[in-house]
Amino acid sequence: QVRLAESGGGVVQAGGSLRLSCAASARTYGNYALGWFRQAIGKEREFVAGISWNGGATLYADSVRGRFTVSRDNAMNTMYLEMNSLKAEDTAVYYCGADYVYRNPTPPRWTPAYDHWGQGTQVTVSS
For residue 74, report the phi and psi dihedrals to the nearest 5 degrees. -65, -25
Nearest to 97 by CA among 121, 80, 114, 82: 114
SS3 for the chain is CCCEEEECCEEEECCCCEEEEEEECCHHHHHEEEEEEEECCCCCCEEEEEECCCCCCEEECCCCECCEEEEEEHHHCEEEEEECCCCHHHCEEEEEEEEEEECCCCCCCCHHHEECCCCCEEEEEEC
Q: What integer pLDDT is reported at residue 27 of this predicted model? A: 77
Q: What integer pLDDT is reported at residue 2 of this predicted model? A: 63
Mean pLDDT by 10 residues, the chain (127 residues): 89 98 88 96 97 96 98 95 98 96 94 92 96
